[in-house]
Structure 1
């Protein structure tokens, strides 16, 4: 097991692992869990707007229709009843399911930032990136900085960023991680040259779910991320930071100290 040291403890986090290892399986499962919650959140949000519009227009139509037209009145009642049933399903199934993992509890402690980054890089390089003939490089100005946060969760987020970049890259290309400090923020920027076909290439090894890889190839609305990267977003926000996905870069910004 690979560990990294901190000022107060030595939490065991990202360790070198084969694609089929227990550690890698755990990281993939965590990514899938957060993706599920992210999709449920989008479903709940995106369905409510049209349902509210249908409900409102049903009342408008009801006032315009002949009160003596029994067929038309049954139709309006059916429309409103259908909308109310859908809203109840969202509340009882979607929102209730999300409630279990909506709040992300953090196990905060100071830890050595550079050591966590190195261990996570090793976990992605060997053997996954090697098997895909993708070179993962790192540039960093960090020395002995510590970050007050959940080392395991941040390692998961960084692992997922790097793994997604490797999955998105064609053979014999490169993925670069740049770690910088901007005032009191740690910024991790992962850069690659996306090759959409690489996400579905059956000749290449894959770690992320096929469903997630297919969705990641679809056009994204402004400000939205690929579903599989939901863990990165949730971890960043739980630390008071931010996660962004651009065409060729993934950016994670985390405060060095708790707010």
Structure 2
């Protein structure tokens, strides 16, 4: 099964010889779904501020204009009508479209953490990292530690973190997944050396869509993540945890993706 036969719209076929597994193809599609909804959320949020400002200034203008001037009154009515139409579009189309991931249903059950790490690392290693010539290292010392949460959703978040790190790594580099638990929280972080050329080189195998990879390399506003990590952020927050994306440290060469989830996860109120 090749990426061109299972990928989402806009995905580019990988070079000949690279084969993506059915599970990875499914996770890539989920990544695109969450990214779409994340972008819609940003659009909804960022448009409401200017629309509210326009609506408020319309009232200011109304008090300044001649109430007996029909052209002025038509102009004010048109401004308000346009704002109302835009707000309605946000509510009925943008907000409704992202409802599926906005209220993320989780299947809570206790599960051991060590097999989750091993299986996810192996999925990315055999399905993608080897094709890119990137090594994946696992740094953990779990024994029988368990987490109460949605195993499949958390596996998807880990898969995406590792997959992106491989996408952003040059051949012959290494990606490290480090995991540990403290008294109440599971910590998982992926460290890699970002290489923009490797992230967007069409001659290399890729799993994630070109648009997602390109946007991930653009400057981000404070506290905002790259769109491609929307799945990680949503899954973490649905478990009462958090996801963080760090930029390369000044003077350094390592970037990190960090997932934190309570061991006894419950949906946030």
* TM-score, normalised via structure 1 length: 0.90
**Secondary structure of the structure 2 residue equivalent to 1:224:** coil
State the match for 1:250 in structure 2: 257
Listed one character per residue, the Cα deviations across residues 21-79 of structure 1 (whole Å, up to 9, x for unaligned) are 21111010111111111111111111101100011001101111122333232222211
What's the C-alpha RMSD, in Å, of the aligned pairs?
1.3
Aligned length: 242
State the match for 1:172 in structure 2: 172
**Secondary structure of the structure 2 residue equivalent to 1:141:** coil
Using the TM superposition, give the Cα deviation of residue 110 of structure 1 relative to its aligned residue in structure 2, in angstroms. Answer: 1.3
State the match for 1:151 in structure 2: 151
Given that 1:19 and 1:207 are in contact with CA atoms closer than 8 Å, whether structure 2 keeps it comes out as no
Between the aligned partners of 1:50 and 1:85, the Cα distance in structure 2 is 14
State the match for 1:123 in structure 2: 123
State the match for 2:67 in structure 1: 67
Between the aligned partners of 2:83 and 2:21, the Cα distance in structure 1 is 46
* TM-score, normalised via structure 2 length: 0.87
Between the aligned partners of 2:197 and 2:100, the Cα distance in structure 1 is 36
Using the TM superposition, give the Cα deviation of residue 101 of structure 1 relative to its aligned residue in structure 2, in angstroms. Answer: 3.2
- 1:1-259 matches, within 5 Å, as 19-247=19-247, 248-259=255-266
**Secondary structure of the structure 2 residue equivalent to 1:104:** coil
Using the TM superposition, give the Cα deviation of residue 19 of structure 1 relative to its aligned residue in structure 2, in angstroms. Answer: 4.3
**Secondary structure of the structure 2 residue equivalent to 1:183:** coil
Residue ranges of structure 2 left out of the alignment (5+ in a row): 1-17, 248-254
Moved more, 76-85 or 114-123: 76-85
Runs (4 or more) in structure 1 with deviation over 3 Å come to: none
Using the TM superposition, give the Cα deviation of residue 141 of structure 1 relative to its aligned residue in structure 2, in angstroms. Answer: 2.4
**Secondary structure of the structure 2 residue equivalent to 1:101:** helix
Residue ranges of structure 1 left out of the alignment (5+ in a row): 1-17
